[in-house]
Structure 1
């Protein structure tokens, strides 16, 4: 964490804009710092004050006769650039700019922010913010924020792009008794961003789990690298808002349409090993559970309940989350049968009946936790007239303490009658939720992280021998022609330059040329219109197959032109593609869309006419290993098709994976490629062939 020590463990802090007036941000920040028992020196900076809260005030940071590690800035936006200049002259290591009025406020504010960042680079200091709440470190300790209170000390590191969410969470955490190691308000992320935060929290010995609320990622490539490394050290849970399908609707290719911006975030998070929360409650359910529990080696879940209904609900939720219910050993079943009332259910879920007291809970939990098939236990309590929640909580604490290698999560359903018992569990490192679904979801988080940690990281990225010069030549000619969409023969040539097999295809600009090409390639043939404006050629009669002689070629030539003129009279036609006809294979789609945040995202799935029908496409962010490419393919229905169904021989899966990896390499080598589709790729028992290749380049190159 040494890289951000100036922020979290400064030896001296100046509060520029510190105020004597309660209700001002500068007052709250300064008061919070001195009230948090910060061990370093604190200097209030205010040209109109001599003393603030018992501390001598200075007119400028330059007047302080001491080194300053960190400046907290609360002055109006129009004064921040002058303050930054003075901080640079003072050689501060960092600035926390709480002031608003920067890029979030419009063009003028964005220009102020740009100049602010320039000054930070000129003087070599870092910036948190602007437009942020500040930060809190409970171990230094320092509360350099204008939050209304200080959180309890704990092991959750939390960074938020929203200051409002952060303040709400802090107030809630005090009521719930949840502690934090560090709390960081990211603000506009002009300099320090979520990647810096993850890097710092990953190396922080006081932080066990990292939670993030994000509206976007500033630098996807760096975030990917940093978070992938950090996720091997501790759990990362992200709540990402701003979900939008606008990007998907705008994309012109099949792969682009299926890979909207939210899909890109989910793909990146899955690949990195980040657990994605879908609401604030879920974010902190995961956070609480990771902060209190260890990660069991066994995934299977046992449920103990004193009421049938909640047990059934928990069972249903386990199935929904893909959690296996533990199959008890015979000894466990016999022990439960011999010691529980005959009306009890001794199988999983174990129903110990509504009159269960602490002894019955103690026995059932001890028995189930002793079963080698059990990794997690969800223990449910509903308060009946005879139930003693506090005594039962104490029994759960006692038993679970003997089985630290397994996870115990509780759901005490009710209000006032279970409140103290719930607090007892939480204070003894046992997560307790008000409803069983929340408990199951929390266990699912533990299991997902455990599965990720069990996967051997494979970071070997294949690199193929390819002909980059050929691709450069093709792209240059396309731009010279004022196009961004490659014609079919051009796209096929790019594919072949990267070792992707395609049928022979040539462009005919006249009937005579079409016949000549047909005779040279040989029959049977397929003919297609060559136009960058027509994406779905088959729909308008722009493709004719199974041509066996030159007479059929002539007829097809005029038929295609006639169909195109009928449906797209204003489209530009470059000619007719004459392509070798190849045997039918299993139809696959392999494509790439370039996401603005994450870069090239490669997808594979069922191809041909099934693309939009089944939307069976799995994605990975490039680059990825051969093992990851196989993992991507194996998650699709296409994989089952390739393995062979109902006695069919399997297709050449290795050749399909080769194409996936070659498309991935092409997308990295040429960043001007916006989208690429191979649809269909015919997969055979041996080898494969890319029948139709579409490539769209970036505009204006």
Structure 2
């Protein structure tokens, strides 16, 4: 790495290998480097994390002062096994790691070269003043590729058509394009580039510029490099301008010459946009608000009482009705529910709750009720309840003959809404984490979920909700109303605090959490809670 950074022109203020972290670990070093002024950017290579909760605290402090770039191995099963044998650390679930470190403001690189590109230029490139970036190109193809890359790396392109036209119409030929990407065409000369760059850099509505050069008969790489250097130096304290050049030996020589002078130029538009995305990630992190985290009120005595019953019974999980009691203790709405011990009692409870109803087996020996045939849905009358009662008992006895059946739960049939999943667990690396995603029976297939270290603010919970691919379902699609997203965020926080404050609990899963229209709330339909074998905090 020392040799590679020298070749790349990257200065090193410190380089430390922690080995198996028997004493000093990555968090200790990061805390030290946070306050070292000569360390402008911190690059970390991680295989696993030992003190994840402390690392989260330190990362949040460090990333407000300087960029932290992370390369993390152990993404694959084999990679995780290799990491474990190498350092004795658990690589952990990569999705959890990725979401948690990004929550802390970390910029995660895909590979070493990408990380080095970022480290080389992040310390000297000025921060953008806003989110509007403009692409200037002499080639339509590379312009489109860059626009694609901007979407991938989170770079927002200016779409102010009137302002773009006013800015570039005098420097773009009639057969070019003043839309973004701004196409000054393949006949663009170095002087054309100079004028286009000047127009973009002088416009206060443009916050960053990506300038692309594709070698043509009219493209002179050496002259382009001279103009690029002049414009970069002229505006280096004002706004970021990055470059990508594509061509033969002359172009390659210009790239090397510019990079040697610390000018962010890249041979590929994806490399360039990757850096621009990292710059914007750092910009957003430094400008982000960090709201105070508020604890919530909960009936801890009621929760402890439920857990004591399960412990006395020798169980490491709560029964369905016990899990519902825990949710009620923290203010999460659950369906109306009763436990029936006879067919006639089931009918009585169904009529009290109101049809339609759902019936579920209650047994400490049957965790996956659906697999056992222990669930009946949408029961509309007395006959259907009686038939379902007998069918559930028959199915569950066939599934597990020695199962102790404690009754059959009768629940209200939940109205249709968007099915989501909310969870909390004690991660091996980061301690308490919460999870949110698209719920229902396909959650393990689609895996459209997001994670966060806990505790977290309401704003971060909302950001987490917006991260999943299925978020548009909550905003309302095809004329449907917006769903009660605020109530979802509230539920995530409540579930997280149950885990955080109750040392006996290891996992909580609410699936589905049905979300209704805005103002109509949510309902925790099915809740699973697992207990730790020991109650150490």
Q: TM-score range by the shorter chain?
A: 0.7 to 0.9
Does the 8 Å CA contact 1:606/1:617 hold for their aligned counterparts?
yes
Q: 2:75 aligns with which of 225, 237, 243?
A: 243
What's 1:596 paired with? 428
Does the 8 Å CA contact 2:358/2:413 hold for their aligned counterparts?
no
Is residue 504 of structure 2 the alignment partner of residue 672 of structure 1?
yes
What's 2:456 paired with? 624
Does the 8 Å CA contact 1:503/1:579 hold for their aligned counterparts?
no
**SS state of the match for residue 538, structure 1?**
coil
**SS state of the match for residue 601, structure 1?**
strand
Shift of residue 664 of structure 1?
A: 0.8
Shift of residue 558 of structure 1?
A: 1.8
Shift of residue 638 of structure 1?
A: 6.1
What's 2:229 paired with? 397
Kindly provide the CA deviation profile for residues 164-221 of structure 1, in whole angstroms up to 9, marking residues without a partner as x.
Answer: xxxxx22122222222222222222222221122222221111222111111112110
- Structure 2 Cα separation of the partners of residues 651 and 309 of structure 1: 40
Shift of residue 331 of structure 1?
A: 7.2
Change in Cα spacing, 1:382 to 1:651, as seen in structure 2 (3 Å) is closer
Does the 8 Å CA contact 1:425/1:431 hold for their aligned counterparts?
yes
Q: 1:231 aligns with which of 63, 70, 80?
A: 63
Shift of residue 426 of structure 1?
A: 2.6
What's 2:525 paired with? 691
Does the 8 Å CA contact 2:389/2:408 hold for their aligned counterparts?
no
Does the 8 Å CA contact 2:377/2:413 hold for their aligned counterparts?
no
What's 1:119 paired with? none
Is residue 259 of structure 2 the alignment partner of residue 426 of structure 1?
yes
Shift of residue 584 of structure 1?
A: 0.5
Q: How high is the TM-score relative to the length of structure 1? A: 0.68
Is residue 121 of structure 2 the alignment partner of residue 277 of structure 1?
no
Does the 8 Å CA contact 1:588/1:638 hold for their aligned counterparts?
no
- Structure 1 Cα separation of the partners of residues 327 and 308 of structure 2: 16
**SS state of the match for residue 369, structure 1?**
helix
Is residue 180 of structure 2 the alignment partner of residue 348 of structure 1?
yes
Return 608-617 or 395-404, whichever deviates more. Answer: 608-617
Q: 2:209 aligns with which of 377, 383, 386?
A: 377
Kindly provide the CA deviation profile for residues 513-572 of structure 1, in whole angstroms up to 9, marking residues without a partner as x.
Answer: 656765776665422112345444335431123446665544322210111233x23562
Is residue 124 of structure 2 the alignment partner of residue 292 of structure 1?
yes
- Structure 1 Cα separation of the partners of residues 260 and 160 of structure 2: 30
What's 1:558 paired with? 390
- Structure 2 Cα separation of the partners of residues 470 and 411 of structure 1: 62
Kindly provide the CA deviation profile for residues 418-467 of structure 1, in whole angstroms up to 9, marking residues without a partner as x.
Answer: 45533442344311212121111111111222223332111x22322222
Is residue 400 of structure 2 the alignment partner of residue 569 of structure 1?
yes
Q: 2:294 aligns with which of 455, 462, 467?
A: 462
What's 2:7 paired with? 175
Is residue 243 of structure 2 the alignment partner of residue 410 of structure 1?
yes
Q: 1:440 aligns with which of 273, 297, 305?
A: 273
- Structure 2 Cα separation of the partners of residues 335 and 230 of structure 1: 39
Shift of residue 695 of structure 1?
A: 0.8
Shift of residue 697 of structure 1?
A: 1.6
Structure 1 residues 11-30: aligned runs within 5 Å: none
What's 1:218 paired with? 50
Q: 1:452 aligns with which of 285, 300, 306?
A: 285
Change in Cα spacing, 1:183 to 1:556, as seen in structure 2 (3 Å) is same
Shift of residue 321 of structure 1?
A: 2.7
Does the 8 Å CA contact 1:292/1:431 hold for their aligned counterparts?
no
Shift of residue 637 of structure 1?
A: 6.2
Change in Cα spacing, 1:654 to 1:308, as seen in structure 2 (3 Å) is closer
- Structure 1 Cα separation of the partners of residues 348 and 29 of structure 2: 64
Return 178-187 or 610-619, whichever deviates more. Answer: 610-619
Does the 8 Å CA contact 2:335/2:414 hold for their aligned counterparts?
no
Unaligned runs of 5+ in 1: 1-168, 249-259
Is residue 364 of structure 2 the alignment partner of residue 537 of structure 1?
no
Structure 1 residues 81-92: aligned runs within 5 Å: none
Does the 8 Å CA contact 2:136/2:196 hold for their aligned counterparts?
yes
Kindly provide the CA deviation profile for residues 469-523 of structure 1, in whole angstroms up to 9, marking residues without a partner as x.
Answer: 2222222322332221221111111111222222343444555765676577666
- State the structure with bigger RCO (CA 8 A, min sep 6), 1 or 2: 2
Q: 2:415 aligns with which of 584, 602, 616?
A: 584
Does the 8 Å CA contact 1:389/1:421 hold for their aligned counterparts?
yes
Does the 8 Å CA contact 1:328/1:371 hold for their aligned counterparts?
no
What's 2:83 paired with? none
Is residue 190 of structure 2 the alignment partner of residue 190 of structure 1?
no
- Structure 2 Cα separation of the partners of residues 491 and 534 of structure 1: 15
- Structure 2 Cα separation of the partners of residues 389 and 571 of structure 1: 80
Root mean square deviation of aligned Cα = 3.1
Shift of residue 402 of structure 1?
A: 2.1
- Structure 2 Cα separation of the partners of residues 640 and 347 of structure 1: 28
Structure 1 residues 123-142: aligned runs within 5 Å: none
Does the 8 Å CA contact 1:522/1:580 hold for their aligned counterparts?
no
Does the 8 Å CA contact 1:503/1:581 hold for their aligned counterparts?
yes
- Structure 2 Cα separation of the partners of residues 649 and 369 of structure 1: 43
**SS state of the match for residue 180, structure 1?**
coil
What's 2:86 paired with? none
- Structure 1 Cα separation of the partners of residues 50 and 222 of structure 2: 47
Kindly provide the CA deviation profile for residues 313-367 of structure 1, in whole angstroms up to 9, marking residues without a partner as x.
Answer: 2233223334233347757646755455556555433444556554333222212
Tell me the number of residue pairs that the alignment of Structure 1 and Structure 2 aligns. 520
- Structure 2 Cα separation of the partners of residues 392 and 321 of structure 1: 26
Does the 8 Å CA contact 1:524/1:581 hold for their aligned counterparts?
yes
Unaligned runs of 5+ in 2: 81-91
Shift of residue 228 of structure 1?
A: 0.6
What's 2:31 paired with? 199
**SS state of the match for residue 462, structure 1?**
coil
Q: Which has the larger radius of gyration?
A: 1
- Structure 1 Cα separation of the partners of residues 179 and 206 of structure 2: 13
